[in-house]
Structure 1
Amino acid sequence: MRVVGLAVATLLLTACASQIDAGVTKTAGSPGFWWGLWHGFVFPWAWIGSLFDPDIAVYAVPNRGGWYDFGFFLGITVLGGGSFFGSKSAKGKR
């Protein structure tokens, strides 16, 4: 029952989240799915670089919204290794 209550509370809190209008643009030059995929893939290196150089960002703003976010997520989880490689190494330890 506790897990269900926590899940409902989490869903209610995340339902309130929104992106500001300045963060989403539909212009032709703004990053979309493919740039999000690339940015997700290079995220670990961009994050390290951003610690030393304030001109390096790990996420493009403005972008095209949901498709950029989806590409970014796929880039981090699938191309960048994400949970896939972690699950393979955990199987060998059991």
Structure 2
Amino acid sequence: MTADRGEAVGHLRRLAAQLESQAFRTRLQTREGLFPRLRVINPMAPARSEDVLAAHEEDGEWWFWLSWAGRIGHAEDIATAAERVASVLQVIRR
């Protein structure tokens, strides 16, 4: 489990860097006993935030997941995963 936890943190750090380059704020949470998660915040609307987790399937492939169990992208495709997180956190002006 430790190796899996470390790998999850590595994937989340890469995603955090991509999202921060798009002006999102991120905070990696690694409390003992919980899955590591990345809190992503839209700085233009701080109430718009989401937790992202990284987990692997039985075949060993790593994926990013939204906190409500929505799979958003393969861990090797950081750009697509970041784009999907950004679309969830966008602010729609009317």
Q: What's the TM-score bracket when you normalise by the shorter of the two chains?
A: under 0.3
With normalisation by structure 1, the TM-score equals 0.26
More strand by share: 2
More helix by share: 1
Which is higher, the Rg of structure 1 or of structure 2? 1
With normalisation by structure 2, the TM-score equals 0.26
Return the structure number with greater relative CO, CA threshold 8 A, min gap 6.
1
